[in-house]
Structure 1
Amino acid sequence: MFKIFKRIMDTLLALIGLIVLSPVFLVLIILIKLDSRGPILFKQKRVGKNKKHFNILKFRTMRIDTPKDTPTHMLENPEQWITKLGKFMRKTSLDELPQIINILKGDMSIVGPRPALWNQFDLIEERDKYGANDIYPGLTGYAQIKGRDELEIVDKAKLDGYYVSHMGLWLDIKVFFGTIFSVLKSDGVVEGGTGTKVKREKKEKKVE
């Protein structure tokens, strides 16, 4: 029953969001074209519900010669590939706004595990242990308010599993507003930073 309610709310909220944020979309479209050469939108194959692939939409934040289908944390010096405007959009998560269209299309939900790249086999495999590949991926998720880019793959999957086993209206509300606070504080946003939380904690222990 909740899943039906969730889908209805996703559609309504995404439609309202698209209307309300249309001026922001317009401004970003203009700035992207002025900032760098290339398309406005970036499409990338991701893993959806039941591991069905779909094309996720984002505002382009990287140069057009960036290696394709490579997770940011696997790029050597990822900062060199990101455009000037892209750095701001990624820090504020504005690049994710076009995924409202993915939600309306039925590819995604507002809250759920963040969709893995089709070739992020380590993350996909870990999520299989918790059934996290069996639900719609989200614009934001439980892992995004618990560390985001700083988390190890194993820890991300466990948090996604927690969401699957505790999925409900209250948790969705908690994640939604937690995401807003995290974005405002830029919590966990580290380019190429997968696992940096653990690395930092280990470094701090050595210092002690």
Structure 2
Amino acid sequence: MYLFFKRVFDIVTATIALLLLSPILIPSCIILLFTGEREVFYKQKRVGYKNKFFDIWKFATMLKNSPNIGTGEITLRNDPRVTGFGKLLRITKVNELPQIVNVFKGDMSIVGPRPLMDVSVKLYPEEIRNKIYNCKPGMTGIGSLIFRDEEKMISDAPDPKAMYATIYPYKGALEMWYQKHASLYTDIMIIFLTAWSIIFPKNNLVNKIFKDLPQRDF
């Protein structure tokens, strides 16, 4: 029953978001069309529901062939592969909004674990890797909330690749927590907290609302 209502909730929320965010989406498309490499959308293979691959939609914020140059799948805060307008889209998370298309298609949900490239999924402990996509990946989620500044955290680390690998066991624990507590209430609160973190980035309410999250040891 929860999955049925979650799907209905996804469609309704995605429709409302598309209408409300069109004043942001349409200008972003126009600017991308005339700047950078003049690419509006970027599609990439990601691991999704039941570990099956799908094409995720994003606004194009990086140079073509970026996964095969520089730091590969890891994007740093001042990454030279990111275009000028792309930096703004990434900081504001607007680059993620085209994933509304994936929600309509059924590839993704509004709330769930982040869909990753296969090389990144392999950083999860094996027992988590086999379970994490038992639910559909989401545009936002508990892991995305806790690691909203992941790009900055990795950029500031002495060894970005080592830090990138370090955070995955905890990310996995967070997603296992989500699966255990999955409900429309949890989803609504995660959406609320996502909006809150964008408006008030320095006022973190996550641990005040979800008081039983796994402990972080780094």
Is the shorter-chain TM-score for this pair beyond 0.5, marking a shared fold?
yes
Aligned to 1:206: none
| Structure 2: tracts of 5 or more residues without a match | 154-165, 203-215
Describe the SS at the equivalent of 1:89: helix
Contact preservation (8 Å) 1:142, 1:160? yes
Q: TM-score, normalised by structure 1?
A: 0.81
Q: TM-score, normalised by structure 2?
A: 0.78
| Superimposed CA distance per residue, residues 40-94 of structure 1 (whole angstroms, 9 cap, x where no aligned partner) | 1010100111001000000011112423493225x7x861111111111111100
Describe the SS at the equivalent of 1:122: coil
Alignment of 1:153 onto 2:168: yes
Describe the SS at the equivalent of 2:67: coil
Alignment of 1:60 onto 2:49: no
Aligned to 1:106: 106
Contact preservation (8 Å) 1:126, 1:157? no
Aligned to 1:71: 73
How many residues of Structure 1 are paired with residues of Structure 2 in the alignment? 187
| Structure 1: tracts of 5 or more residues without a match | 188-196, 202-208
Aligned to 2:142: 142
1:185 to partner: Cα distance: 4.3
1:173 to 167, 188, 199: 188
Spell out structure 1 runs of 4+ moving beyond 6 A.
none
Contact preservation (8 Å) 1:114, 1:139? yes
Describe the SS at the equivalent of 2:66: coil
Structural RMSD (CA): 2.3
**Percent identity among equivalent residues?**
35
Contact preservation (8 Å) 2:142, 2:175? yes
Paired with 1:101 and 1:124, the residues of 2 have a C-alpha distance of: 30
| Superimposed CA distance per residue, residues 11-61 of structure 1 (whole angstroms, 9 cap, x where no aligned partner) | 111122222322321100111123211421010100111001000000011
Aligned to 1:95: 95
Aligned to 1:28: 28
